[in-house]
Amino acid sequence: MTLVQHYIGGIIVQNYIEGINSCLQEILQQNVDEIADIIFKAYTAGRQVFVMGNGGSASTASHFVCDLSLQTAIKGKPRVKVIGLTDNMAVITARANDIDYGSIFKEQLVTYLNKGDVVIGISASGNSPNVLNAIEYARDTGGVTIGFCGFRGGKLKELAERSIVLSSRHYGQVEDSHLCLSHIISYIVREKIKTC
C-alpha cells in the first residue's frame, strides 16, 4: 500500500466515524424513550408492531424485528408481537408484480393491521414511496406510526406521528445509526418489560 492510499483510507475512516458520531449525537437530542414507550404500550395492550424499509433499511427492519422479539424476551412474560414486512419474498414479489412495488408494505397491512398496532417505517431519505403508502394507510386506519429518517426527514417526518430524524445525507451513516437506534430501543423496551 502506498503512502497516498494509506492517507486516503485514513481520511475516509476518520470522516465516516465523525459522521456516525454526529448522527448519534443527534439521536441523544431526541425523545427515544417516547418511541420505546409506544412499543411498550402496544406490548402491554397485546398489539402488534410492524417494521419495514428498503435496501439497507430492509436489513435494519429485519434486525429490529429479531431484537424486539428475542432481546426483549423475559421468562414468564408474553413476547412482543413484532412482524417484519420486508421478510416474505413471495408476498413482496407477488404484490410488486400483481399490483405495484409501491404497495408491497401497505397490502400486508391491509391483511394484518388492527387499530392500535404500531407501524415503524425506516427510510434513510424519508421519501420511499412504499414506506409512505404503508404509513399513510396505517395512520388512516387507526395504527400508531413511527418514522426513522435521515436527510432531515423527508416526507416521512411529516406523515408519521412520531419520528427520529437525522440531518445526515450519507446513506451508510444514517443506516448505521438506525441500527444503533433499533438496539437502544430494544434494550429500553426490555427494561420496561422487566419492571411491569
Nearest alpha-carbon partner for 77 in 44, 126, 122 = 44
Distance CA 77, CA 17 (A): 39
pLDDT at position 115 is 98
* Confidence at residue 8, expressed as pLDDT on a 0 to 100 scale: 75
CA geometry: angle 32, 81, 90, nearest 5 deg? 105
pLDDT tens sequence across 52-74: 999 999 999 999 999 999 999 99
So what's the pLDDT on residue 10? 86
pLDDT < 50 positions in the chain: none
What is residue 1's three-state secondary structure?
coil
- 139-161 tens-digit pLDDT: 999 999 999 999 999 999 999 99
pLDDT at residue 5, rounded to an integer: 67
Cell of 172: 451508510
To which residue does cell 412504499 refer? 130
What CATH number did the domain enclosing 155 receive? 3.40.50.10490
Phi-psi region of 123 (alpha: psi -120 to 50; beta: other; left: phi over 0): beta
Q: Quick one: DSSP state of residue 196?
A: -
CB neighbours of residue 136 within 10 Å: 16
How much is the pTM? 0.95
Q: Is 34 exposed, middle or buried (0-12, 13-18, 19+ CB in 10 A)?
A: exposed
Give the model's pLDDT for residue 6.
Answer: 63
Residues in CB range of 41: below 8 A, 6 or more apart: none
| Amino acid residing at 76 | G
- By residue range, what is the domain housing residue 7? 3-194
- One-character DSSP codes across 76-94: TSPPPEEEETTS-HHHHHH
The confidence score (pLDDT) of residue 2 equals 72
C-alpha cell at 82: 413484532
Which residues, at least 6 apart from 80, have a Cβ–Cβ distance to it below 8 Å? 39, 43, 49, 68, 69, 72, 73, 189, 193
Domain count within the chain: 1
Length of the chain: 196
pLDDT confidence of residue 31 = 93
